[in-house]
Amino acid sequence: MSSIRVQPIGREGLTIRLRRSAESWSPADDAAWDGMIRANPRLHDGPIAFATEWSDTEIRGEISGYRRLMLRGARQDPALAMGVTGVLTRRGGSEVLMGRRSDGVRIYGGLWETAPRGGLDISRPNDQREIRLGLIDLASRVSAEAREELGIELDPRSLRAVATVIDEQAGSLDVVMAGEISAELTSPASWEYTAVGWSPRRNLGLIGPLSPPTAALAAWLASSSSC
């Protein structure tokens, strides 16, 4: 089975249920993380959501820190860091907004992806109470990423969830939010992208080499009428 797959979201929509993680860190984990920070001072152990179980209608997971993602391989942790990915289109859905990833990102540097994209960073609760997120929460996150990375304003209510992209290699599960926009872009608004542009929906790779999860999403978009 491919390590990257696209899973359409069911008609019932998508519910996310999260609890505070109870993981503990060994001295070896602490030493490895400290070494990563010395090599890249940009790293920050901010809270993000991790998926531990998922289907086309529900994701269950935990709220942990970014170090969990960075140490995932060494700890053989099967949880996937959760994020959101925008599929923003124009001209009746025929063109998709793309961004070329900076060489300074964790993985897939220099490759193109649908933009914006970002982690689902959620404040950790003080206890084990469950946090529930709905589609408007995900859409609001995409809107915030669009403002930060692209310098454009999006109405979260104009976005809809269409699929999840599960990337075992990168350790990520992204919820794909789609919507039509009219904004014109000339340059990225943050360091995460070195360039932005539009590419035909039926041939996203025309703009340049795609990241593996975006290539999987492109194949699905070419044959799907969901967005």
Domains, the chain: 4-223 (3.90.79.10)
Q: Report the amino acid identity of residue 113.
A: E
Complete DSSP assignment for 65-133 = EHHHHHTHHHHT---EEEEEEEEEEETTTTEEEEEEEPTTSSSSTT-EEES-EEE---PPPSSS--EEE
Find the mean pLDDT for residues 102-117.
Answer: 91
Contact status, residue 50 vs residue 62, Cβ threshold 8 Å: yes
| Cβ proximity of 46 and 124 under 8 Å | no
pLDDT at position 100 is 95
Single-letter amino acid code for the residue at 198? W
Least confident of 14-23, 44-53, 130-139, 184-193: 184-193
8 A C-beta contact, residue 11 and residue 55: no
Cα(1)–Cα(4) distance, integer angstroms: 9
Task: Give the pLDDT confidence score for residue 106 in this predicted structure.
Answer: 84
Q: DSSP character for 210?
A: B
CB-based burial of residue 58 (10 Å sphere; 0-12 exposed, 13-18 middle, 19+ buried)?
middle
On the question of pLDDT at 194 being above 80, the answer is: yes
Contacts of residue 216, Cβ cutoff 8 Å, sequence gap at least 6: 2, 4, 5, 6, 165
Mean pLDDT of the chain: 90
Higher pLDDT, 1 or 193: 193
Tokens of 107: 């993985």
Q: Residue 1: pLDDT band by 50, 70, 90 thresholds?
A: very low
Question: Tokens 């859905």 label which residue?
Answer: 93
Q: Given a cut of 80, is residue 2 above it in pLDDT?
A: no
* Spatial distance between the Cα atoms of 206 and 217, rounded to a whole number of angstroms: 14
Q: State the sign of the Cα–Cα–Cα–Cα dihedral 141, 146, 151, 154.
A: negative
| Predicted confidence (pLDDT) at residue 108 exceeds the cutoff of 70 | yes
Confidence (pTM): 0.90
The answer on pLDDT for 122 being more than 50 is yes
